[in-house]
Structure 1
Amino acid sequence: MNSKLFGTSGIRGTLHTLTVEKAFKIGVTIAKFFEKSPIVMCRDHRRESYPVYEAVKAGITSAGVDVLDLGELPTTAMLHYLRHANAHGGIAVTGSHTPPGITGVLIFGENTAELSTEKERLFEKLYSKLEMEKTWEDVERIGKVFSISLKDIVKAYVTDLSKIVNKSLLRDFEGAIGFDACSSTAGVVYSRILSNFGVKVITVDAHLDPTFSSRDPYPRPDNLTNIARITKKLGLSFSISIDGDGDRCIFTCENGLILYGDVSAILLAEHELENLKAHIETPTIVCPVNTSNIVKYLSQRYRCKIVYTKVGPPRIVEKMVELKPNVIFGFEETGKYIYPDNVLYGDPVLATLKMIEIIAEKRESLSQLVRKLPRLYQIKKSVKCPEKYKEKLLKRMRFKWSKKKNVNKIYTIDGLRVEFKDGAWILFRPSGTEPVFRCYVEARTPERAENLSREGIKDLKRALRRLKRVSSES
């Protein structure tokens, strides 16, 4: 039996692969893994998530563990409540940023971090050995389910953030912000929390829509033109756009400029470096291998250390925990910003409040702050690729691109990142959540970026065609 469950983040699938039966078994495994009550649970509003959620919950309670049922809620909000409930684990059933039709099970420990690599393997081992032939007569105790009110959840969230943010700077902020809620469960929750801190919020697409008809649940510059237009038209200070379960956050400047996540992260990280509350011998920032070279601006200016990891929040947080207490910030270019003294997951509300602090402190607009950073040009593309070809395709890219001229450095932490002597780089990486192969490039000029991207995509498509041809002939 193949016991491989976890991808880049959590256990993903459609209802054909993440079946109700499988979800029930995952629930039983969760109960056996944590052993103690209670477990906190939430889900997004996708149609696919409902049956999986109920099956996981049934599996947990059938094994005698109690559940605190938070219902439809952003994953990050669940984690804040996990801390206050002193729960032993947290479960989010969500498709996150993936297209409709996909859902998943994210598993968090009592420290609010997703399972480490070692714990994922232990969980998979327990899952594969689990015997499901028990009858109801063999069950010693059925766990109870307790429903938690939104009022209590919001209170826990606000209490946590109140210990971290600078309320004086927040009071100095006189503008208003836009909030593109992506028709998700975060619409009402995040608006309410931001309002608790005195922030004026204009919310767009706050209604729940399991099909995400307003835009793709993965916030990217190419699908955020509507909020960019609204931000500029209404004279907002900036806007944020989240993903399907509210853990990613992309910023749009007051002039309509949409920022990649790693550009926003540089401003947020710089704010932490300038406001260290205690002496840290080697301030460290953790980010994945697909991060922009703009991060090197921080290491050069503040003499901080940059540590690269595999892509995915679990691997970033795993490294943050390992390097504690030197770590001051972690992030992913998709718009996940992680603070070590907060829940160990992407928190759009905290990132938004921190960005407000920056604008209030610097007395400059977001676009003015961005203009001070080094200008680099990124292109992010993907090629559809069935799972069975991903490993061989990566090997072919490694073989060809490692022999290129003027190569400065090669990273094989996750996929293949080739850095050139002129500062440009290209990353080939199979997605861990979707049937696609990603090709990211960055350069100091748009022409260099375009040429590098065109060459990379061309090589990917050519190699994939050859693999398919060989497969069909065998």
Structure 2
Amino acid sequence: MPPKFGTSGLRGLVTELTDDLVAEYTRAFLTACPHGGAVHVGQDLRGSSPRIAEAVIGAVRGMGLRAVDHGVLPTPALALASMGAGQAAIMVTGSHIPADRNGLKFYLPGGEIAKSDEAAIGAALGSGSVSAELGEFVREAGAVPAYVARYVDAFGSGALKGLRIGVYEHSSVARDALADALGQMGAEVVRLARADHFIPVDTEAVDAETREMLKRWCADHALDALVSTDGDADRPMVVDASGTLVPGDVLGPLVARMLGADVICTPVSSNTLVDQLGFGSVIRTRIGSPFVIAAMEDAGGKVVGYEANGGFLLGFAADGPAGKLAPLMTRDCLLPIVSPLAMARAQGVSLAGLLSELPPRFTAADRIAGIATEASQAFITELTATAEARAAFFVRRAEEVGLDLTDGLRVSFADGSVIHLRPSGNAPEFRCYAEAESVARAESLMRETLAAVADRVG
């Protein structure tokens, strides 16, 4: 399958992301979109990323523009730097997907590109002009310290004092920044499992083996919490002292409450507990940060956004415990990691104790890899067509009481459970989200449904 735009930028097989194709997309981006005279370039730790970043930089300079090379850094740190300079950015990353794939995330001077920008980039392919004079090339090393300082200044040097926090380093570009930030806020940091090869960590669908590993580390190292991110660090992973994962769509409402947000924008797949927390309004979108950002821009005011993967977007100038937090309209991992830990410490409770105060709604999510997008979409179309088709597939479920087609197929049942099916927007995968009144029930629903999908589509 040739590279294409999904829910988070351009993605494709490394073998198909040739230097010529990368350069063509870079030129199309700079032709179709504002750039502020320079492009900031970052990359994740995949083996293919240095080569692709070099192709991006060459194309930027070839158009006579200034290329600012930040090297390896978290995506939100790159966005913070480029937006602060009023200039464009391109992050070379495939996020959480396997190392045989990679991609490009494009940023305008004001933030992430919208779906309309993706269409404009596609229309501009092949039309970018080359300048007679190469643009300037500079290296920049200050973006990560500035990103860390953003949160240390907002939360204070004692926000996490007394907490023993593990950092699952793997191949996350944030592994050093995360440890630095937590340490500067007073935590005792235990660094775990640094990898010299790329590991595709999906914070929204953590496999059973990894969950057991995380639980074992929490016990062996007497941790108060354990944290990590996906490959490019725009999605958090948070685990409590017992080794239980805290879903991203639970972290999101906690952060929103701490910051005093009035309006929540979140995809239709997110946990419905947010609807019971007294926010001014909750706006549901299709899955993908461009849709969340569009809803945030339309809503205005004290608005935030988050996704089920945990990426959090701040749309207003908020007050942290120790200082101001400027808006950052791109998915971030550090804010949803630090906020609940700081809240729990300030209240004198454990992270699990903090979570116990929330409405008892629990989600589970996973995916089947290797299913062609066309097959997944055909199956969703079949179920969408008639209630009889859905009843035949969900044969052991309670009566259907609600249907949402905002993004894929989301069915609500009379027993309060929810099952949401959709093809992945980034890879040949089929995703399932389940929601119920207990963790065990949500996990069971999700596993049963994926097994049924595999029998039909796999």
**TM-score interval for Structure 1 and Structure 2 normalised by the shorter chain:** 0.7 to 0.9
Which range is displaced more, 316-325 or 371-380?
371-380
1:92 corresponds to: 91
- Residue 434 of structure 1 and its aligned partner are, at CA, apart by 1.3
- Residue 144 of structure 1 and its aligned partner are, at CA, apart by 1.4
- Residue 338 of structure 1 and its aligned partner are, at CA, apart by 2.0
Query: What is the aligned counterpart of 1:442 among 428, 435, 448?
Result: 435
Alignment of 1:204-353 (within 5 A): 204-207=192-195, 209-212=196-199, 216-219=200-203, 220=206, 222=208, 223-273=210-260, 283-298=262-277, 302-327=278-303, 329-341=304-316, 342-353=327-338
**Structure-2-length-normalised TM-score:** 0.87
**Unmatched 5+ stretches in structure 2:** 317-326, 392-397
Alpha-carbon distance change, 145 to 401 in structure 1, aligned in 2, over 3 angstroms: farther
Confirm or deny that 1:48 pairs with 2:34: no
2:401 corresponds to: 408
1:396 corresponds to: 382
**Structure-1-length-normalised TM-score:** 0.84
Indicate the percent of aligned positions where both proteins have the same amino acid.
25
Q: In structure 2, how many angstroms separate the alpha carbons of the residues matched to 1:158 and 1:381?
A: 31
Residue type of the alignment partner of 2:281: K
Residue type of the alignment partner of 1:414: D
Q: Show CA shifts across 1:43-87 (max 9, x none).
A: 012112222211121111111111110011111211222234x14
Residue 45 of structure 2 contacts residue 198 of structure 2 at CA under 8 Å; is this kept in 1? Answer: no
Residue type of the alignment partner of 2:201: P
RMSD: 2.6
1:468 corresponds to: none
Residue 246 of structure 1 contacts residue 348 of structure 1 at CA under 8 Å; is this kept in 2? Answer: yes
1:120 corresponds to: 118
- Residue 23 of structure 1 and its aligned partner are, at CA, apart by 0.3
More strand by share: 2
1:11 corresponds to: 10
1:170 corresponds to: 159
Residue 194 of structure 1 contacts residue 349 of structure 1 at CA under 8 Å; is this kept in 2? Answer: no
2:24 corresponds to: 25
1:457 corresponds to: 450
Q: In structure 2, how many angstroms separate the alpha carbons of the residues matched to 1:6 and 1:410?
A: 27
Helix, strand or coil at the partner of 1:6: strand
Helix, strand or coil at the partner of 1:46: coil
Residue 330 of structure 1 contacts residue 338 of structure 1 at CA under 8 Å; is this kept in 2? Answer: yes
Alpha-carbon distance change, 252 to 307 in structure 1, aligned in 2, over 3 angstroms: same
Q: In structure 1, how many angstroms separate the alpha carbons of the residues matched to 2:337 and 2:448?
A: 37
Which range is displaced more, 31-40 or 423-432?
31-40
1:363 corresponds to: 348
Q: In structure 2, how many angstroms separate the alpha carbons of the residues matched to 1:352 and 1:170?
A: 12
More helix by share: 1
Query: What is the aligned counterpart of 1:145 among 132, 137, 152?
Result: 137
Alpha-carbon distance change, 125 to 221 in structure 1, aligned in 2, over 3 angstroms: same
Helix, strand or coil at the partner of 2:46: coil
- Residue 340 of structure 1 and its aligned partner are, at CA, apart by 1.9
- Residue 26 of structure 1 and its aligned partner are, at CA, apart by 1.2
Q: Show CA shifts across 1:389-446 (max 9, x none).
A: 2321210121255754733321111101111232211111000111011122222256
Residue 74 of structure 1 contacts residue 186 of structure 1 at CA under 8 Å; is this kept in 2? Answer: yes
Residue 13 of structure 2 contacts residue 102 of structure 2 at CA under 8 Å; is this kept in 1? Answer: yes
Residue type of the alignment partner of 2:58: A
- Residue 231 of structure 1 and its aligned partner are, at CA, apart by 2.3
Helix, strand or coil at the partner of 2:27: helix
Alpha-carbon distance change, 398 to 331 in structure 1, aligned in 2, over 3 angstroms: same
Alpha-carbon distance change, 188 to 323 in structure 1, aligned in 2, over 3 angstroms: same
Helix, strand or coil at the partner of 1:170: coil
- Residue 89 of structure 1 and its aligned partner are, at CA, apart by 0.8
Q: In structure 2, how many angstroms separate the alpha carbons of the residues matched to 1:224 and 1:73?
A: 26
Q: In structure 2, how many angstroms separate the alpha carbons of the residues matched to 1:288 and 1:158?
A: 28
- Residue 371 of structure 1 and its aligned partner are, at CA, apart by 2.0
Q: In structure 2, how many angstroms separate the alpha carbons of the residues matched to 1:196 and 1:182?
A: 21
Residue type of the alignment partner of 1:423: G
Helix, strand or coil at the partner of 2:45: coil
1:202 corresponds to: 190
Alpha-carbon distance change, 377 to 323 in structure 1, aligned in 2, over 3 angstroms: closer
Helix, strand or coil at the partner of 1:440: strand
1:417 corresponds to: 410
Helix, strand or coil at the partner of 2:232: coil
Residue type of the alignment partner of 2:272: N
How many equivalent residue pairs? 436
Alpha-carbon distance change, 224 to 143 in structure 1, aligned in 2, over 3 angstroms: farther
Helix, strand or coil at the partner of 2:336: helix
Alpha-carbon distance change, 156 to 447 in structure 1, aligned in 2, over 3 angstroms: closer
Q: Show CA shifts across 1:359-402 (max 9, x none).
A: 12211100111222233343423234112323212101212557
Residue type of the alignment partner of 2:349: E
**Unmatched 5+ stretches in structure 1:** 277-282, 466-474
Alpha-carbon distance change, 340 to 35 in structure 1, aligned in 2, over 3 angstroms: closer
Q: In structure 1, how many angstroms separate the alpha carbons of the residues matched to 2:436 and 2:455?
A: 24
